[in-house]
Amino acid sequence: MTGTEGPATGAPSPAPRADVVVDARGLLCPAPVIRLARAAREHTPGTVLTVLATDPAAALDVPAWARMRGHTVVPTPETSREPEEVAAVPEDALVVVSVRLG
């Protein structure tokens, strides 16, 4: 298994469905983390928050923040992005990180 496969079938697990999208595109770190922290305070454990960011540092900073706070970082395959979410920025500039609140 590669870590993205389902436990019983070996088939890929479905991408997590974002309960809340935190749009931090165009912002530099630490702003994406600050927006995520604000959203996390407003939601209950089990909520999946997805951060959209154009700052490459968010790919490291957001998961680090989540782990420090006891949340789960959920792998988000590129295919889980919806076209309207990537239309405003070049695809290779978009960082998508999902966090499941612990």
Collapsing DSSP states into helix, strand and coil, what is residue 16? coil
CATH number of 20-100: 3.30.110.40
All residues at 6 or more sequence positions from 59 whose CB lies less than 8 Å from its CB, including other chains: 53, 95, 97
Return the percent helix, strand and coil in the chain, to nearest 5.
30, 20, 45
Name the active-site residue from 29, 48, 96, 99.
Answer: 29
Residue 5, phi-psi category: left (phi > 0), alpha (psi -120 to 50), beta (remainder)? beta
pLDDT, tens only, 4-60:
444 455 555 555 577 889 999 999 989 999 999 999 999 888 888 889 998 988 988
pTM (2 decimals)? Answer: 0.68
pLDDT, tens only, 54-88:
898 898 899 999 989 999 988 765 434 443 333 33
The answer to whether residues 79 and 49 touch, using CB atoms and an 8 Å cutoff, is no
Active site residue 29: yes
pLDDT at 1 over 50: no
